[in-house]
Amino acid sequence: MTAIELYARPSPDYAARHAHALAVLQSAAAEFRGRIVQATSLGAEDMVLTDMIARHTFGIAIGTLQTGALHAETLALIPRIEERYGVRVEIYEPHHDAVVHFVRNHGEKAMYESIELRKRCCAIRKLEPLSRMLRGRQAWITGLRREQSSHRAEVPFRDFDDQRRVKLNPLADWTWNDIWHYIATNDVPYNPLHDRFYPSIGCAPCTRAIAVGEDFRAGRWWWEDEKAKECGLHVPQDTPPAVSLIGARP
């Protein structure tokens, strides 16, 4: 069965949630015109947001992080988005020298050795490129939902990041079924890994399929304690990730 066949059943409040998400996007597009970006992971939630942004011509930029370790199925969505919606996806990659330095010193499987090394890898491949995506912008949009994990259970619709930029989460109250109902109803392109029981998709070495009854994000960093399961994109940082950029070009 496909993810659509398994999950596309709207909640009783779907219509209201849909309308609210559109209102959040429309308001943000007007408030931060030319200074806002959707930071898409190319997962199901973000594909819903991209479809809304393009379908209603909100004029919000779309950017993604090409970490150098993504599944081929994930990367294949970038040209599909551009062809389907007639928009350009901004692509931000890690500094090549920083990746080479990290792998040379710690190996390609360093993320399995310790949480510290895994987070350093995330800092190089995700956090630093994200900082470039957000440079000069006043607001950004994510696909965070409260249902995704206990750490996200109180995600607000509007928040601030560490740089006091506005961070918007229009789908905060959506259910997983709502997401797939929207995808089915609007024929939204999506990652075929979702059909193979990958609800949350990140870098290939750090993502696996989940089994029946496992938590939504059980397939992410499955070898770690539950409390550590964030890459840092949506976690307040005490210090910038500069330590992970040794050998990087400015």
Other residues' Cβ atoms within 10 Å of the Cβ of residue 218:
18
Check: CB of residue 184 under 8 Å from CB of residue 156.
Answer: no
Closest by Cα among 250, 241, 9 to 125 = 241
Catalytic residue numbers read 231
| Burial bucket for residue 159 (CB in 10 Å: 0-12, 13-18, 19+) | middle
Q: In angstroms, what is the C-alpha Rg of the chain?
A: 18
CA distances, 215 to each of 10, 65, 219, 232 (Å): 20, 25, 8, 20
